[in-house]
Structure 1
Amino acid sequence: MLFATPRIISALILREIGTSYGRSPGGYLWALAEPVLGIALLTVIFSIGFRTPPIGVNFPLFYATGLLPFLMFVDLSNKVAQAINYSKQLLAYPRVTFIDALLGRFILNFLTQFLVAFITLAGVILCFDTRAALNFSQIASGLGLIAALSFGLGTFNCFMMSMFQIWQRIYAIFTRPLLLLSGVIFVYSTVPEPYRGWLWYNPLVHIVGRVRAGFYPNYDAPFVSVSYVYAISAFFGIFGLLLLRRYHRDILER
């Protein structure tokens, strides 16, 4: 039985709420505090050396529109990657499938990260003179890209990390520089060639560009390729699902 059922997914979501966020009163508060502190730190550091951010007039908004999509991707992809290890005991039941585990973790953490981003950005816009002009279609498109890439790469990593413990360390090493290479603290168009061309292949650059275009009406991001991000997401997602379908019983017996 490979198709997820709403009742099982709902039960897995409630379990995750209790174990991941309900053990202490600060569970959800920390999820909100992490990006807020990150944005504040970047604002303080770069406002010392520069009078204005690369786009717009407000440092907190510029870094919020870069850091929040990045953190959302990191959290979602990591949570999906650990879905089978997290729910290994429940997967022993025939009615619970690995797809249930993947979707349960993904849905809860996507909604959590969306709420965190909404509260943070609303706070920035209300507290500062950001001069933002929201384009909801662009923002929604950016969220769709985050969701697709997080689930696709997370599904592939779910297989790799469940089968090969060393993969978690290898992946962590290779992705450590992503904060500096994803357009969080700079604008893609300001990067000189040939480095700009190399950075284009980082799907997070496209995601950050699309999200920022939803807040800055004068920000031109022609480099963003929605089809490229979805193609990368589909490749890793389908490949990961096929591998999990073939080897998920072997993983549970490990």
Structure 2
Amino acid sequence: MGVLEKSSRAIQKNKPLYAFRQVQPISSIIAISGFELLTKFFVVCVIGIICFFLRQDIEIADPLEVIAIVLRVWIIATSVGTLIALAACHVPEVSKLMQIITRPMFFISGIFFSLQDIPQEYWPYLTWNPLLHAVELSRFAAYPAYGDLGVSYLFLDAATIVSLFFALACYHIGWKQAISR
């Protein structure tokens, strides 16, 4: 959630920089969200080094797929953050609305439970959340014993592409109006 929150505040936070013609809002959004991604990557590397020195074995079945899923979630968070940042330039209360929406999304994302623990008749109410697909697919990539029943790579990829396209389209249409307010 750090990427979403920080990228949603990127335009308002860096408004004085837009006096320079070379600096555009997309630059600050990419810089802030990229820094968040690198920070999380560095923390994971430090934890891995600590586990190595403590002689703890870490076995991930498909680490490249886990990284690919993390990058998809990062793209979704940056895209939604861009949309919220553009909307917040016109209506400042949107950032408060973001907090109200992200809390339930976080709780039904499958962080605290596995989809396999819930009866199948409730799955249609939960599987509309792309974060649930990302969490379940990353569990499956790390430990195949979890299984990937009920989730799909296609839905996660479609959610990533649609959110990125919609964010870039809205940015292209409204970035000049956003910084002029």
Assess same fold via TM > 0.5.
yes
The residue correspondences of 1:99-178 to structure 2 (distance < 5 A) are: 99-120=26-47, 123=50, 132-178=59-105
Query: Residue type of the partner of 1:192?
Result: P
Query: How far apart, in 1, do the equivalents of 2:117 and 2:158 lie?
Result: 26
Contact kept in structure 2, 1:79 and 1:106, CA below 8 Å: yes
Identity within the alignment, %: 22
Deviates more, 1:153-162 or 1:233-242: 233-242
Contact kept in structure 2, 1:125 and 1:132, CA below 8 Å: no
Deviates more, 1:231-240 or 1:145-154: 231-240
Instruction: Look up the SS of the partner of 1:184 in the other structure.
Output: coil
Distance 1:133 1:102, change over 3 A: closer
Query: How far apart, in 2, do the equivalents of 1:131 and 1:112 lie?
Result: 21
The residue correspondences of 1:63-102 to structure 2 (distance < 5 A) are: 74-102=1-29
Instruction: Look up the SS of the partner of 2:144 in the other structure.
Output: coil
Query: How far apart, in 2, do the equivalents of 1:193 and 1:217 lie?
Result: 20
What is the TM-score normalised by the length of structure 2? 0.86
Write the deviation string for residues 86-143 of structure 1: whole angstroms up to 9, x where unpaired: 2111112111122212211121111111222333466568769777444213212222
Contact kept in structure 2, 1:182 and 1:204, CA below 8 Å: yes
- Which of 191, 206, 213 is 2:118 aligned to? 191
Distance 1:105 1:135, change over 3 A: same
**How many residue pairs end up in the alignment?**
181
Question: Do structure 1's residue 250 and structure 2's residue 173 form an aligned pair?
Answer: no
Distance 1:126 1:186, change over 3 A: farther
Contact kept in structure 1, 2:76 and 2:160, CA below 8 Å: yes
Distance 1:236 1:139, change over 3 A: closer
Contact kept in structure 2, 1:151 and 1:233, CA below 8 Å: no
Query: Residue type of the partner of 1:203?
Result: P
Query: How far apart, in 2, do the equivalents of 1:248 and 1:198 lie?
Result: 35
Contact kept in structure 2, 1:148 and 1:233, CA below 8 Å: yes
Gaps spanning 5+ residues in structure 1: where?
Answer: 1-73
Q: CA RMSD in A?
A: 2.4
Query: Residue type of the partner of 1:226?
Result: Y
Distance 1:148 1:205, change over 3 A: same
Query: How far apart, in 1, do the equivalents of 2:151 and 2:7 lie?
Result: 25
* Greater RCO (CA < 8 Å, at least 6 residues apart): 2
Query: How far apart, in 2, do the equivalents of 1:133 and 1:232 lie?
Result: 25
Query: How far apart, in 2, do the equivalents of 1:187 and 1:162 lie?
Result: 37
